[in-house]
Chain A
Amino acid sequence: MLTSRALVRGFKIGFWRPLSSTSSLQAVHGKDMSADVLDCTAPQYNNRLDTPLPDVPFVRKLNSEQKQLKDKEKGPWTKLTKDEKIALYRLTHELSFPEMRKGSDEWKSVLGGVFIFLGLSGVLVWWQRVYVFGEVPHTLSEEWVEKQTQRMLDMRVNPIGGFSYYWDYEKKQWK
């Protein structure tokens, strides 16, 4: 009991300490955050069918070649080649409309995984039935069930809605 509690405490410290210490370090040293921490107050790029023009362009840091292309964009667009036009589009947008609409085949993997696990469960259940469960009670044997059925018919069990209703007492057979 005591050992498990110590274990839990140790686990908690081990889990939280790295997180808390890095943030306290950062607070001490000022704006020392790693580059891939997302600032959620600034506008973000998104691919949305209902928002065709995103808030910010996809590529914001342009290298010199891209900057040259952007300068060429300020002139007549008739002078741009097809590849340059496509490149300009891709600078501002990550995915085109057909790419956004594409969808994926992930559902097949998901369904496959579901069936695999259902199958494994089925195997477990079968194994359990065969190797774990003992014999079935004697009241389910053929002989007993026959005698039981006859007794139920003699008692007129459910003569209106079911069971005895389906037995033809004159002809002594099921209807």
Chain B
Amino acid sequence: MFRAVVRLSTSGVRSLARTRPCNSVPLASRCYSHAKVETDEEFDARWVTYFSKPDIDAWELKKGMNTLIGYDLVPEPKILDSALRACRRLNDLASAIRILEAVKDKSGPYKDIYPYLIQELQPTLSELGISTPEELGMDKL
């Protein structure tokens, strides 16, 4: 939903301009990659499943989170919910707070993404007892 969907085309327009007078219209063909494009729902489902693994270990959590932050998108609340529950299973409150800080930073200039995420995650945050960085006073220097 908040993702900047970038469909990369592998090359530009290839036009064949014939010099014969009867064929003056250039033929244009585009080259797109033939790989199947994953939909947003599939992407979200894949990541929710990743973090929902019951015996997820600390390394997998770190790897997943760092990879997710590397993408050009802000994760959906359901992915973050799954990640926060994984932190709970690993008894890692610091990582849970760090994840919230990271998605706020990831939103960049779009200041209304983070309040929306917190609003959606509020039930989970209350249930697990995770304080937001704002509540802890850590968003100010």
Interfacial residues, chain A to chain B (CB-CB below 8 A): 49-55, 57, 73-74, 76-80, 82, 85-86, 88-89, 91-93, 96-99, 101-102
Contact = CB atoms under 8 A, between A and B. Distances in A.
A53 B66 contact: yes
Interface stretch (B11-19, B49-57, B88-96): B88-96
Given A52-B101, A53-B61, A78-B129, A91 B94 contact: yes
A41 B91 CA distance: 27
Given A52-B69, A102-B141, 7 more contacts: A53-B66, A77-B130, A79-B129, A82-B135, A85-B97, A89-B94, A91-B94
Contacts of A49: 102, 105
B101 A53 contact: no
A55 B138 contact: no
A82 B131 contact: yes
22 contacts: A49-B105, A51-B66, A52-B98, A53-B62, A55-B62, A73-B92, A76-B129, A77-B88, A77-B129, A79-B129, A82-B135, A86-B138, A89-B94, A89-B98, A92-B95, A93-B98, A96-B138, A97-B101, A98-B138, A98-B139, A99-B141, A102-B141
Contacts of B36: none
Contacts of B92: 73, 92
A55 B88 CA distance: 18
Nearest to A87: B94
Given A79-B129, A96-B101, A97-B101, A51 B69 contact: yes
Interface string B105-141: 1000000000000000000000011110101111111
Contact of B70 (A50, A57, A78, A79): A50
A99 B101 CA distance: 12
A79 B18 CA distance: 78
A98 B102 contact: no
B93 A53 contact: no
A73 B141 contact: no
A73 B91 contact: yes
Contacts of B65: 52-53
Contacts of A99: 141
A98 B141 contact: yes
Contacts of B62: 53-55
A77 B85 CA distance: 12
A2 B91 CA distance: 71
Contact of B93 (A52, A54, A73): A73
Contact of B102 (A52, A74, A76, A102): A52
